[in-house]
Amino acid sequence: MHAINKVVDHIYIITLDIHGSRKSNHKFDFERFPGVDGRKLNVKDLEKKGLFDSKLAKKVRISKKDMTMGEIGIAMAHKNVYLDIISNSRESAVILEDDSILLPENSNFIEKVFAELPSDWDLIYLGYHDFHMWNMKTQAKTIFDFIFASVGLKKMKPKNVWNRYAKPFSKHLKIAGCSNGTYAYGISKKGAEKLLNIQQPVHQISDHLIKNASMKKEINAYLAVPPLFAHDYECESTRELIDSCN
């Protein structure tokens, strides 16, 4: 049994039919979970059913832009996985997008990473972008940004400023800060319930959902050190492919 199958109850790989051939060479057991094709969605129907909120999406996004059809589809796919985790009473799972790559040189850290997670963990980034470390430079920046945010000179809320940078936790874990990437992460059943509750209705892209929940301390999120998965940039972006058709 592969190490990653030992540490969680189930592994999902989210993929669309158009990408059915991706990642068939993984050496671990997984379920190929159907993605949501944004091209086939009707925003008005989703809003009538209470599944998506365009006004709320614009309100919470810094750019004040609405979610694209590709972003809505990806967000709904991740939400569907959370529902599956809960309905099947899986205590833990790994969620992968089909453009993720397991880093063989770091695979021997898998069991060590998961062994260090505290009992109240909700989510762990197994791969990530924008890994901001907590050091003297970022501490000083945080103090200034906190002051500016407190007097309304910065858009971020003061409490989010403090939680923006990843901080030390253990040998193979960092407390997550403002990290991006939903191509590879582990999640507990409790974490899935929390994110499902926040994303009701869908109003945040999947990356922002987790990043914001982490910064607001709505979930207990961590980073694997070193990262166990990478993003395959040679694969065509599903979101960009779908949005280019609209």
Domain coordinates in residue numbering, the chain:
3-131+166-243
DSSP state at residue 68: P
Would you call 159 helix, strand, or coil by DSSP? Answer: helix
**Which percentage of the chain shows pLDDT scores above 90?**
69
Identify the residue with better confidence: 53 or 148.
Answer: 53
The dihedral sign for the CA sequence 151, 153, 157, 159: negative
Most confident of 136-145, 199-208, 229-238: 199-208
Give the per-residue pLDDT at 241: 47
Per-residue pLDDT band at 171 (split at 50, 70, 90): very high
Give the per-residue pLDDT at 130: 65
DSSP state at residue 134: -
- Cα dist from 172 to 56, 95, 110, 121, 179, whole Å: 37, 20, 10, 14, 16
Give the per-residue pLDDT at 129: 80
φ, ψ at 24 (rounded to 5°): -80, -5
First to last CA, the chain: 43
**pLDDT tens readout for residues 106-134:** 999 999 999 999 999 999 999 998 656 66
Residue 232, pLDDT above cutoff 90: no
Mean pLDDT of the chain: 89
Q: Residue 130 and residue 85: Cα distance in Å, rounded?
A: 28
**pLDDT tens readout for residues 6-44:** 999 999 999 987 555 555 568 899 999 999 999 999 999
DSSP collapsed to 3 states, 115-129 = HCCCCCCCEEECCCE
Q: What CATH fold (topology level) applies to the domain 3-131+166-243?
A: Spore Coat Polysaccharide Biosynthesis Protein SpsA; Chain A (3.90.550)
For residue 158, is the peptide bond before it cis, meaning its omega torsion is within 30 degrees of 0? no
**pLDDT tens readout for residues 182-218:** 999 999 999 999 999 999 999 999 999 999 999 899 9
The angle formed by the CA atoms of residues 15, 20 and 21, to the nearest 5 degrees, is 125
Question: Residue 132 burial (CB < 10 Å; 0-12/13-18/19+)?
Answer: middle
Would you call 58 helix, strand, or coil by DSSP? Answer: helix
Per-residue pLDDT band at 94 (split at 50, 70, 90): very high
